[in-house]
Amino acid sequence: MFTAIISCNQTLAIMLAHRLCSDLDQSADDHALDLEDSVVLVAGLVPWSIAGAVPLASMGAPVAASMALAIYLYAVPAWRLLSGWFAARGQARCAAR
């Protein structure tokens, strides 16, 4: 989220997040899914980002109404955060036994 807010560009946000988080995941596939479900979608939620501003300007839609209706852009990162948290919590419980 931080890289999308600063960069104002979806591509630059992806490159920055990849640089910052490339050593956290175990495989390249997991890393690609994490980038897709976080940076790619969150960049569209930043109103001054190109990923959010260009589609809104081309439709002539107000920013407030369009961003409030972007349920998919909110739901996928939230789902990934919650599912990752519950998976880590379950692994910690199994390790404690």
> If you ran DSSP here, which 8-state letter would residue 24 be given?
T
pTM of the model: 0.68
Tens place of pLDDT per residue across the chain (97 aa)? 788 888 888 888 888 888 888 787 678 888 888 888 888 888 887 877 777 778 778 888 777 766 667 788 888 888 988 988 888 877 766 666 6
> If you ran DSSP here, which 8-state letter would residue 28 be given?
H
Domain ranges of the chain: 2-96
What's the confidence (pLDDT) of residue 61? 78
Q: Judge contact between 52 and 67, C-beta under 8 A.
A: yes
What's the confidence (pLDDT) of residue 97? 61
